[in-house]
């Protein structure tokens, strides 16, 4: 198993998203959080969503880089697009309902831009890896009652496109083409490849339990009982 240097400093996640934090925990990557606090106002139309999402992610890193000398920083920006129209986080229940009606019975695109950057001892960006991921999501036709009930849960209000695929909106999607975790906010397979390119092997953070498992087997206790 690949090993990570003992003096490795946690990656700085430039995001306040609880979903991204949970996904990094899921794959075992150590991190600390520092939101960028930049203006994320979306235009009415985006013609190149992948380039736009990557640029937003880079802007987040650039905003905080000087605070973290000699560190790796990770930023992401996820767009939900209805055609060329980006759907941000709804500000009102009425806006959430409008977004969900647009997505009802149609296929939309979710794009995440990723930026992984290394700073020098003065906090200047010396290396920057960029990537993007695109997923196609098809919703079945939603009734007005379903939309009203979903909004009443409060779940849509802090999510782009007014839904969380990992939550109650899971019953809306009939087809997903591409990375599921991209819809949640962080395409994990793409991220792992970026980290490997940076010389950081995700599996190096995992603790092996092989020895413990062998000992358990020798005592005759089935692994399923653990």
70 given a catalytic annotation: no
First to last CA, the chain: 24
Beta strands 11-13 and 31-33 are parallel
Distance CA 52, CA 47 (A): 9
Q: Exactly one of 77, 120, 144, 158 is catalytic; which is it?
A: 77
Contact 167, 186 (CB under 8 A): no
Contact 78, 137 (CB under 8 A): no
Our CA dihedral for 108, 25, 210, 195, rounded to 10 degrees, sits at 70
Residue whose token pair is 């409008």: 98
Catalytic residue numbers read 77
């Amino acid at each position: 198993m690949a090993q990570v240097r003992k003096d490795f400093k946690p990656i700085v996640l430039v995001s306040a998203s609880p979903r991204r934090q949970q996904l990094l925990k899921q794959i075992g990557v150590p991190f600390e959080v520092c939101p960028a606090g930049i203006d994320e106002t979306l235009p009415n139309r985006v013609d190149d969503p992948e380039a736009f999402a990557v640029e937003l992610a880079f802007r987040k890193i650039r905003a905080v880089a000087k605070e973290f000398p000699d560190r790796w920083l990770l930023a992401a920006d996820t767009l939900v697009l209805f055609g060329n129209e980006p759907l941000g986080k709804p500000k009102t229940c009425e806006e959430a309902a409008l977004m969900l009606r647009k997505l009802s019975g149609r296929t939309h695109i979710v794009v995440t831009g990723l930026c992984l950057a290394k700073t020098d001892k003065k906090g200047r960006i010396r290396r920057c890896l960029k990537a993007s991921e695109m997923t196609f999501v098809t919703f079945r036709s939603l009734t007005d009652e379903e939309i009203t009930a979903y909004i009443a849960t409060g779940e849509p209000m802090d999510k782009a496109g007014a839904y969380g695929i990992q939550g109650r909106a899971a019953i809306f999607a009939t087809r997903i083409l591409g990375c599921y975790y991209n819809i949640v906010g962080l395409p994990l397979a793409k991220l792992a490849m970026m980290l490997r390119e940076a010389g950081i092997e995700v599996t190096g953070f995992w603790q092996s339990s092989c020895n413990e498992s062998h000992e358990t087997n020798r005592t005759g206790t089935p692994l399923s009982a653990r």
